Structures are given as structure tokens and as C-alpha cells.
Amino acid sequence: MFPPCLSLNNQSTLSRALLRLSLELYMAEALSPDSRQFFETLTPLDNLAFIANREKFLLPENFAPAPLEIIWRTIDNDAAGIFCRGVTPSESGAKNDFVLCAASLGETRNGTGLAAGFIGSEKWHRHSDMQELFYSQIGLLRRFFDEFSHLKVLCSLLDGGSRFDYIIDQATSQVLAFRSPGRPLTAVSTLSQPDSLSDSLLTAILRKNPLPDDNSATPLPDNMQITRFQIAGFDYAAISLNNPLSSALSPDDAYYSRRELTHLMNNKLGALQSAVEQLQLRQGRPVSDADLKLIEIIEKVTGEMAEALSQFDSDNQSVPAGTADSYNLPRISTNYINRRIVLVNE
């Protein structure tokens, strides 16, 4: 049976907590207060929880509750990589006997091994029900971390680039983690304001595209991708907003054809339309992080559109004789769209 805070009736809390802890462990980041508190709830009362690599304890910090050598030696010699056993003072150097329950979780992104478990009194070792509870709780975390660390979509989410990436709990439509260009994938804290990105663009997109093969699904912009996946039975979705101009345009390009420009503008306009529609739906509400993010996207997109149009315009300045008619139309279109971009940004 799970402790009350991990009741099977509270799957959304469990889904968020497992994802956050697994992400921080896999990325070898310092554990957040949310992850520390969550892992301690996996531990039976009056016992000391720990997470460690082969060199130090990640939880608790600043002191070693047990010799690391004992933990890793026992794990390495156990076929299943999970155990509960008593430890005597002659083995540990402690004043009293204690019970050590630990399990191998897997490896970080850099290949560093991880172990987790708890240390309790010697009397605890005699209660088979409590041992079964430990195996059940740590088994859930082991399964989740193993599946998480082997996700194909995880590689693209962790790579740098010019995308905006979001991981969403499909059951609640809450944003659990996000990544903006040039920054790592980061879990959303439980202390974040409830009126966040989950109520804006991303949630609306997911609801309009419930299944990949649903004929009623709303067509996505060319620069957007939705990937649905499961981890240990929990349903998630990853939404990626690609930046088509960042990869398709470069200062070294000498000339952009009308067709290429039209394609790029259509991609950008699709992203703009989605962002503007979501801002319109939020009229009358206080300004939130979601609004600021949408405004950031609009400013970035319109700036890149202006840059592409300016490049297209400058590349057509030198016009061969007899081609004035074919030149005037794109030049006029460029000036018009640039004026519209200014209006949007104002």
C-alpha cells in the first residue's frame, strides 16, 4: 500500500514527482526541495532516506549516513541490484546495528551509477511487511527511471537548439517541464502559479489533437510537433516548437527564391496565429507567465520575419534590365509585410 501522499487516487501528483526526480537525477543536477520531499515520502517513517552515486551522497547532503563501499559492494554482488540486510558495528563502524535497504536505479546521462534506499533501526529488519513496502516503492522508482532514461524522445528534448520544448501530463494538461532555446530541460516547480502555460497555447493544442490518427484533429503548423509517450504507465506528451528560420536561413545564403520565402513566411504566420489566438482567449485576465512567453514568441517570430524579408529585399536590389515588372511585386510585398510586422510588435 502506498503512503497517503502517494495514493493511487492521486496519480497526477505521482506523475509530476516521478518525472521531476528522474529528470534531475538523469541530468546529475542538485535535487530540488520538491524532489527531496517526494523521495522522503517513499521511505517508511523513522528511517533515513538516501540517494548516492559511487562517490558521494546526493541526499542527505554534507554527511554520510552509511559507508558507500558497503552499499555498492552489496548492490554489485546482488543479481537483482536490490536488497535489505542488517549491518553490524564491526562492519560499519557505527555504535549500533542498523538495517540497510538499497537498490540500483540506473545511470545518469554521463554514465554515473545511482543508488537509493534508506537506513533504519535493526528492529525494522524483522518486519516483512515493511520490506515488501520498500521493494514496492523503490521498484516503482526504478522502473520509471529506467524507462525515462531510455526514451528516444528524451535525446531530442535534452539536445540544445532553437526549439521550445514542453513535457505535459496528458491526464491534467499541466506543463511538467520545459526548455527554451539555449537552456536545459527544467522541471516546473509545484510552487509555480496555477495559472501558467497549462491554460494557454499548449493545452489548447493538445485538446484539439487528442490522437495522432484522429481525423477531427486540428492541423498543426509546420514548425510544431507533438510526441505522445508513456513512462511506467503514466501518459505524457512532448510539444516542440521548431524555429524554421534559424535553420533554413543563414547570412551566407545569397538569394532566397519567392517560393522559399513564401514557405518560411507561412510557417512563421502559423506560429503567430496560434500565439495571437491564445492571447485573445486570455483577455480580461491578469498577465501571467504564459502571456509573457507568448509575447516572447511573437517578438522573436516577427523579428526573424523582418530579417528574412530584409535579406530578400537586399538580394533583389540589383535588377537586370527588362526585369523591373517581376521585381516590383516582391519589393512591394516586402514593404507591406514589414509594415504589418511593426504594427504587431507595437
d(Cα 109, Cα 39) in Å, to the nearest integer?
20
pTM: 0.67
The per-residue pLDDT for 262 is 64
Per the model's pLDDT, the better-predicted residue between 139 and 266 turns out to be 139
Cis peptide before 221 (omega within 30 of 0): no
Mean pLDDT, to the nearest integer, of 20-30?
A: 95
| Numbered ranges of CATH 3.30.450 in the chain | 4-150
pLDDT at res. 332: 46
Average pLDDT of the residues in 82-98: 88
Q: How confident is the model at residue 58, as a pLDDT?
A: 95
What's the CATH number of domain 4-150, 3.30.450, 1.10.1740, 3.90.1690, 1.10.10? 3.30.450
CA distance 139 to 128: 16
d(CA 17, CA 35): 7
Q: Which residue has the higher pLDDT, 258 or 193?
A: 258
Selection from 37-51, 77-91, 287-301, 320-334 with the highest mean pLDDT: 77-91
- Cα(343)–Cα(270) distance, integer angstroms: 17
Decide: 80 and 72 in contact? Cβ < 8 Å.
no
Greater confidence (286 vs 322) lies with: 286
Q: What is the pLDDT of residue 160?
A: 65
In this prediction, residue 76 carries a pLDDT of: 95
331 pLDDT more than 80: no
Residues 6+ apart with CB under 8 A from 317: none
Mean pLDDT, the chain, whole residue set: 75
The pLDDT value recorded for residue 36 is 93
98-107, strands of its sheet edge to edge: 57-59, 48-52, 113-121, 98-107, 82-87
Task: Please determine, for residue 14, whether its predicted confidence score (pLDDT) is greater than 80.
Answer: yes
Q: Which residue has the higher pLDDT, 273 or 189?
A: 189
Question: Is the model's pLDDT at 9 over the cut of 50?
Answer: no
